[in-house]
Amino acid sequence: MPFVPHTEAEIRQMLAVIGLTSLDDLFADITPELRPRSFNVPAGKTESAVLARMEALAGKNRTDLISFLGAGFYQHAVPSVIDALTGRSEFYTAYTPYQPECSQGTLQAIFEFQTAVARLFDMECCNASVYDGGSALFEAAMMAVRHTKRHSIVVDECINPLWRAQLETWHNEGIVHFVTVPHKNGTSDMAALKAAITDNTAAVMVQNPNFFGAVEDFSELFAHARAHKVLSVISVYPVLQSVLKTPGEMGADVAVADGQSLGQYLNFGGPYLGIMTCRKDCIRQFPGRIVGRTKDVDGETGYVLTLQAREQHIRRAKATSNICSNQALCALRALIYLAVVGRQGLMRVAENSMVMARKAVEKLTAISGVHLLNDAPFGNEVALVLPKPAAAVAASLMAQGIVPGFPLGGLYAGMDNVLLLACTELTSSQQVDALASALASALGGAQ
């Protein structure tokens, strides 16, 4: 049997030591009435048979298409050092560093992750990760509720609808409720966001670049929020954060992100990581694991899990969050990514991605009837209005091997003709040309 080392002789010896006669005796507490009604799990297979089947399943997924899909999740290059280093089993077969002396590798890496992200976002504190971008937003909302002792959160409709759907599911009316402020043609309605802030508002939550790709400056909104003792929460796109105005510069209290773009594969939805940063004065309400630097008894520098009194294993029902296992290995991937691309490299990834998006816009808006949703500045993603329903157009392009972006009709009212299209540094001019000519003929064909 795979992965069980016991020989028959050892089994007998061990049972004798325990004072039992058969392996079944180990389960005597499970009385006959509690026994399984069935257990028809198919018989085991050899390693090669399992791998052959997995290869067959993987082969049924079309990863060969030219894709302009983004919507918060992007195919950036994943440098090979990331797989090589996170594939070291000293990292991936360890668990939460409860025993710091034999976990300094994990602990120092988390501390460095906290530093790198705090610098990228221009924020003071960062934790060891939460599950994903949506749970990070939810945890930020809960922080604000505890920090302000108010219960209402103003949410910009320009925040990724996938994450807003999570907020909708995760929240509990008795604890926190969300007031959504409609977008204004794909941009934040700053006046409406300000007007939505009341005495009961704990936080205002926005996203930059927003879901439609528009880049905004929220400094004024955040100043208004601060004046009303409301926390400012912003969700950002870590790669573009290398060039965009920072959450810190805008005056955010909490800045979160999905860290997928930092060295994680798309993986059909996960694992990714939720990144959370905050100002020091919110630290007592911060969820999750945090690593701190300290000294050992000999005065040597070392790292430990710290401020644990916030966490469920100590505080139980009164903890700042229920999170226990997080996405540590994904955080390690993100750190290695940031280390190997470095200051210049990350800016180049952002700039190359933005340059490609402009090329795509230029080519696509040259097609009759295709225009941008708005004239807001954008990063590497844009919303395009087509002269026909985007879903049908997308289906016809996909049959030709091109995924032109995500149709927004199912996510926003009145957006049936809108397509959300993303580029990265991996997008080529040839791919853009292929998209432009396929789109032109798809649209021309029916005119």
Ligand X SMILES: Cc1ncc(COP(=O)(O)O)c(C=O)c1O
Tell which positions 112-131 bind another protein, by CB under 8 A. Answer: 112, 114-116, 118-120, 122, 124-126, 128-129, 131
Which CB, 7 or 325, lies closer to ligand X?
325
List, in order, residues 6 or more apart from 186 with CB less than 8 Å away.
158, 210, 212, 214, 373, 374, 376, 383
Beta-carbon count within 10 A of 385 CB: 18
Strand partners, 79: none
- Sort 143 into a burial class: Cβ within 10 Å, 0-12 / 13-18 / 19+: buried
Cβ 68 vs Cβ 405: under 8 Å: yes
Which CB, 199 or 318, lies closer to another protein?
318
DSSP state of 412: S
User: Does 324 sit near ligand X (CB under 6 A)?
Assistant: yes
User: Does 322 sit near another protein (CB under 8 A)?
Assistant: yes
- Span 159-188, contacts to another protein by CB under 8 A: 160, 162-163, 165-166, 168-170, 172-175
How many residues sit close enough to ligand X to count as binding (CB under 6 A)? Answer: 2
User: Does 314 sit near ligand X (CB under 6 A)?
Assistant: no
Q: Binder to ligand X among 31, 46, 48, 325 (CB under 6 A)?
A: 325
d(CA 147, CA 381): 34
User: Does 18 sit near ligand X (CB under 6 A)?
Assistant: no
Beta-carbon count within 10 A of 437 CB: 13
Closest separation in Å from C-beta 200 to another protein: 18
Cβ 199 vs Cβ 117: under 8 Å: no
Q: Binding mask 281-320 vs another protein (x if CB under 8 A, - otherwise)?
A: --x-----xxxxxxxxxx-x-xxx-xxxx-xxxxxxxxx-
By a kind-dependent CB cut-off of 5 to 8 A, residue 158 interacts, out of ligand X, another protein, none, with none
Question: Is residue 445 classed as helix, strand or coil in its secondary structure?
Answer: helix
Strands 201-208 and 152-156 come out as parallel
Closest separation in Å from C-beta 150 to another protein: 17
**Residue 342 φ/ψ region, left for φ over 0, alpha for ψ in the -120 to 50 degree band, beta for the rest:** left
Closest separation in Å from C-beta 429 to another protein: 11
Which CB, 326 or 424, lies closer to ligand X?
326
- Span 380-409, contacts to another protein by CB under 8 A: 391-392, 394-395, 398, 403, 406-407
Measure the N-to-C terminal CA separation of the chain; round to a whole number of Å: 65
Which one of 80-88, 181-189, 193-201, 434-442 is the stretch in contact with another protein (CB under 8 A)? 80-88
User: Does 96 sit near another protein (CB under 8 A)?
Assistant: yes
Instruction: List interacting residues with ligand X (CB under 6 A).
Output: 324-325
